[in-house]
Amino acid sequence: MDLSYILNHLGEERETYRGAVSPPIFQSSIFAFPTVAAFRAAFRDELRHTTYTRGNNPTVEILRRKIAALEGAEDCLMFGSGAAAIAAGVLASVGAGDHVVCVHKPYSWTRTLLRDLLARFGVTHTFVDGTEVANFEHALTPATRLIVLESPNSMTFEMQDLAAVARLARARGIRTLCDNSYASPLNQSPLALGIDLVAHSATKYLNGHSDVVAGALCGSAAIIREVFRGPYMTCGAILSPHDAWLMIRGLRTLPLRMQRIAASTERVLAFLQGHPRVARVYYPQAAANPQFALAQAQLRGASGLLTLELRADDIAAVERFCDALTRFLMTVSWGGYESLAFPVAAVHPAEAPLRPPGALPLTLVRLSIGLEEPEVLIADLDRAFAAM
Ligand SMILES: *Cc1c(COP(=O)(O)O)cnc(C)c1O
């Protein structure tokens, strides 16, 4: 299946909605049946039929089919956030007494899920530096049921050798889940490397327009059915039909956005590298990345999220840099059409639990490169450096 077929046509049964090129928003909570027999058949398989929108909805199903195809998955479930997708994948995979191994700098709420929420229900965990495969092996216990990966992660872009970790896990009957938000399905296919579940914050590149919070979870039909019967239906963190429709629209330009973002990021990176105010640039494809070889082998292309370590005398200089930016909007999140800046220093010390461990320097500023002309972004950064 080619990419444009997936994005422009897959799942869209235009003949059933009078040829409409853009699919309808099935803004209905319930779907009625003409006979008891038809009702019974739908009830028996709520994942495949449309009975109630907490289970399935035709607009959401179009999106599920497209994202499953992009990930090379048999099936996909959409959620109201990336955090919900990750939580559902984890909740479906473990129970009291089980143990989870997770990379030590995952997305902050993935860490909180394991450390604070699941710990209350008797699920134990070990956080490991995922840059060495042996660290996973050493952390396993007879109770380990799940390994949670995020490659690259979204602040310092550490990677895991996904094929090697998947081999290790499969040999022991341990399930693996990988957060693939950074790479997007275009640049990395964890399922093809042997990973069992792929999660996305679809809020980021998949939607790409900073107007929807959404999550996706992809895997085999059997595991997705297990997730559906478990946390999907019981916790009910679904994506609304309207948000699914916005996502279908956002997704149509994913390849174009990613191409533009990768090209602009290369230009911005060239400006930043060697700049006297930049102590270090974190980026998978940066030549100085200690995992550069793995990035070349495992990623098909580049993303637009990178982190600068500023050469600043104090935090006030970091603040002056960020406050001077006019084209980069200062906020959380990433992956939209617009460029963003996220200073680690904005996280209040009282919120330290949200900050990644290993005491990240407060001089880090993460940039998400958007669709602007790269010269405009470089000029903005240049102005901000001058204001330091
Ligand atoms: C944003 C993000 C999440 C959480 O997704 P939400 O859609 O905000 O719930 C998970 N993982 C990564 C890497 C993220 O950047």
Give the closest residue (by CA) to ligand 1 atom 7: 82
Q: Are 325 and 384 in contact (CB under 8 A)?
A: yes
DSSP 282: E
User: Would you give per-residue pLDDT tens digits along the chain (388 residues)?
Assistant: 899 999 999 999 999 999 999 999 999 999 999 999 999 999 999 999 999 999 999 999 999 999 999 999 999 999 999 999 999 999 999 999 999 999 999 999 999 999 999 999 999 999 999 999 999 999 999 999 999 999 999 999 999 999 999 999 999 999 999 999 999 999 999 999 999 999 999 999 999 999 999 999 999 999 999 999 999 999 999 999 999 999 999 999 999 999 999 999 999 999 999 899 999 999 999 999 999 999 999 999 999 999 999 999 999 999 999 999 999 999 999 999 999 999 998 886 656 545 555 568 889 999 999 999 999 999 999 999 999 9
Q: Are 247 and 239 in contact (CB under 8 A)?
A: yes
Handedness of CA 369, 370, 371, 375 (dihedral sign): negative
- Facing residues of 215 across strands? 79, 201
Separation of 154 CA from ligand 1 center, angstroms? 9
For Cα atoms 152, 267, 369, give the angle at the middle one, nearest 5 degrees.
50
Could you tell me which residues come within 8 angstroms of residue 254 by beta carbon, excluding any fewer than 6 positions away? 7, 70, 184, 186, 205, 206, 208
Give the closest residue (by CA) to ligand 1 atom 6: 82
pTM of the predicted model as reported, rounded to 2 decimal places: 0.97
Give the closest residue (by CA) to ligand 1 atom 5: 82
Widest pairwise Cα distance in the chain = 74
Give the chain's domains with CATH numbers.
3-251 (3.40.640.10), 254-387 (3.90.1150.10)
Question: Ligand 1 pocket: which residues have CB below 6 Å?
Answer: 81-83, 107, 150, 154, 179, 181, 201, 203-204, 213, 215
